[in-house]
A and B are shown apart, each in its own frame.
Chain A
């Protein structure tokens, strides 16, 4: 590897960090600044992202209402997948996932080396309320944008029976709770936010949780997977 080759990841990391730090958040999903880790992450390629498990497969619905296998959205590219439900109000839950994805989207778009190699997937675990139409409203324009080859898919399922294998397969815990803090019972789908990093062959390689979901770590992990795939040289040539 040339010296210039070694410098590229650092330069790219600076670009990504700058984008992540300044990326505005959208509309109803606004919130405070995203959390930052209090450490310097290890450089891409200096650590191993082990194969944690195979991403489960099942039937999902796109915003157009068409049924597809989930594997259609978890293979062929590096995928970041997170579960949400659209009525979630916990600022440390679904809105956080949305904001993190939004930031990542901007960072990826700003990094030509990642174009066409990454996708985002938001999957609802409330098939009763979150129909394809509702998911489309939730997504807004993001569902149809295709900026720099980055697609953000908003998916739901046709029934709890179709959802269950996915929830169980990913190990995404969810419980119904009732928040009675204001005197009325408000139904919530209590869950620990998890975002799954899935490689191109469909294996989960990292799991980020709500308490420690630091967006600036994710590009390093994506880059680590790309380096593992032997794509680093081609990526550098694209950048140059």
Chain B
């Protein structure tokens, strides 16, 4: 029947209800397919460790649906065959593919997560980032309509912090590159990016280059000159024109950028890693401004806030601090004055934090960078799942990535069987 043929050929998914317009709180606004209910999987982009398992970076799929018999278990793993400081990943706008890369290399692996969300597979390896743009160490993968905007951390020439962004189409073809601003106060460093299309604004933050992030942290911190080579700026770009505008002084390496998802809001928040401060970026009149609005822990002890996750209503913010292994919750009802209302030690070292759309489930991983993770017994490597009732984080499951010979658990993305598509017929 023609109708049956259509269904087979259109790479269609059978779902019980349409998914709505937004994402699980921290992704590009151009990603239209949401998991508003229970997610089925957490994909963990994992750094390989020499001598542990196959030693390769890999994408690990963990079943996180409490109704599943495999709840809390690793159900799939895709090694890349390389070990290149696997770090972050991001969905394409149609959420059919997941792009992932490493900071020690310029390759980007493209995983098909739609044909079988339980079993991602590598369908493409993009390897021309350095050749085409001169950048090194792809970090953020931000979906644009039909395209992916990739923020790098370094460059191939001197492996310092001067870097930029590269634009690819969803098929992996390089389109253009954009250097981070070095004028009007810009320091040329890059880290994260996030857009507010309604305001035509792209925000970027800044970290450091390969020469620093690949060094053992103890050695690095003793090198005064090297410690000066960290980003201390954020930039507001004209998104449509992709031109940098105002540059803010935000000392101490501002990292992840989160726009409030509340449609009435037009502000973003970030955490500066080295100064342990929260910064608000907002429009006052016609001017964009950056304000220091809060402190995370005791900055003198360098708790190192490394990841943040904003709630879907823009009223709350999770902050993970690597050094003290704590997960903190800030009330953002007044974004000008965030107020910490909860904290819990969730590991001996904690890095990334992700939450479900409804905020009831929180996932935490352990690894920051291979040479920055702690040693000995403090070098826990895990994915931990928690339930959040608004008052308490309750432990639900744990995957020990060392015991299971997987590696260092880093970035997470959520998956769902509702996003499955049938494979096109040959």
Where the two chains meet, the residues of A that have a C-beta atom closer than 8 Å to any C-beta of B are 37-39, 41-42, 46-48, 50-53, 92, 125-128, 159-161, 163-164, 167-168, 171, 173-181, 188, 190, 192, 194, 204, 207-212, 217
Option from A41, A173, A188, A208 in Cβ contact (under 8 Å) with B96: A173
Interface contact B17-A177, CB-CB below 8 Å: yes
The interface residues of chain B lying within 8 Å CB-to-CB of A52 are 146-147, 169, 175
Beyond A42-B240, A42-B241, is A50–B176 a contact (Cβ under 8 Å)? yes
Q: Which residue of A lies closest to B238 (CB)?
A: A42
A163 to B6, CA, bound (A): 9
Interface contact B240-A47, CB-CB below 8 Å: yes
Beyond A37-B198, A38-B199, A175-B421, is A190–B15 a contact (Cβ under 8 Å)? yes
Contact with A along B230-256 (1 / 0, CB 8 A): 000000001011110000000000000
Interface contact A211-B197, CB-CB below 8 Å: yes
* Complex A-B, nearest 7 residue pairs according to Cβ-Cβ distance, in ascending order: A47-B241, A173-B94, A207-B145, A160-B6, A39-B200, A160-B9, A176-B12
Interface contact B146-A204, CB-CB below 8 Å: yes
Beyond A38-B199, A208-B145, A212-B198, is A164–B32 a contact (Cβ under 8 Å)? no
Interface contact B16-A180, CB-CB below 8 Å: yes
A190 to B170, CA, bound (A): 20
Query: What are 16 A-B pairs at a CB distance below 8 A?
Result: A38-B266, A47-B240, A47-B243, A48-B242, A52-B147, A160-B9, A161-B5, A164-B424, A167-B10, A174-B10, A174-B11, A176-B14, A179-B18, A207-B145, A209-B32, A209-B93
A7 to B75, CA, bound (A): 63
The interface residues of chain B lying within 8 Å CB-to-CB of A42 are 238, 240-241
The interface residues of chain B lying within 8 Å CB-to-CB of A211 are 21, 29-30, 32, 197
Interface contact B146-A192, CB-CB below 8 Å: no
Q: How far is the CB of B44 from the nearest CB of chain A, in Å?
A: 25
Beyond A38-B198, A92-B21, A179-B18, is A160–B10 a contact (Cβ under 8 Å)? yes
Identify which of A37, A175, A178, A217 gathers the most chain B CB atoms within 10 Å of its CB.
A175
A126 to B3, CA, bound (A): 9
Q: How far is the CB of B99 from the nearest CB of chain A, in Å?
A: 14
Interface contact B2-A171, CB-CB below 8 Å: no
Asked if B173 is at the interface of the complex by the 8 Å CB criterion, the answer is yes
A38 to B240, CA, bound (A): 13
A13 to B251, CA, bound (A): 41
A128 to B14, CA, bound (A): 18
The interface residues of chain A lying within 8 Å CB-to-CB of B176 are 48, 50
The interface residues of chain A lying within 8 Å CB-to-CB of B12 are 174-176
Q: Which residue of B lies closest to A161 (CB)?
A: B9
A53 to B146, CA, bound (A): 9
Interface contact A217-B240, CB-CB below 8 Å: yes
Q: How far is the CB of A32 from the nearest CB of chain B, in Å?
A: 16
A180 to B14, CA, bound (A): 13
Interface contact A50-B167, CB-CB below 8 Å: yes
Asked if B13 is at the interface of the complex by the 8 Å CB criterion, the answer is yes
Asked if B345 is at the interface of the complex by the 8 Å CB criterion, the answer is no
Option from A127, A176, A209 in Cβ contact (under 8 Å) with B145: A209
Q: Which residue of B lies closest to A185 (CB)?
A: B16
Q: How far is the CB of A97 from the nearest CB of chain B, in Å?
A: 14
A52 to B424, CA, bound (A): 24
Contact residues of B between 140 and 197, Cβ < 8 Å to A: 145-147, 167, 169-171, 173, 175-176, 197
The interface residues of chain A lying within 8 Å CB-to-CB of B242 are 47-48
A163 to B424, CA, bound (A): 12
Q: A176-B14, A209-B93 are in contact. List 15 more A-B contacts (CB 8 A).
A: A39-B201, A41-B200, A41-B240, A47-B241, A50-B167, A53-B169, A126-B6, A128-B3, A160-B5, A173-B94, A176-B7, A176-B13, A179-B17, A179-B18, A209-B32
Q: How far is the CB of B157 from the nearest CB of chain A, in Å?
A: 24
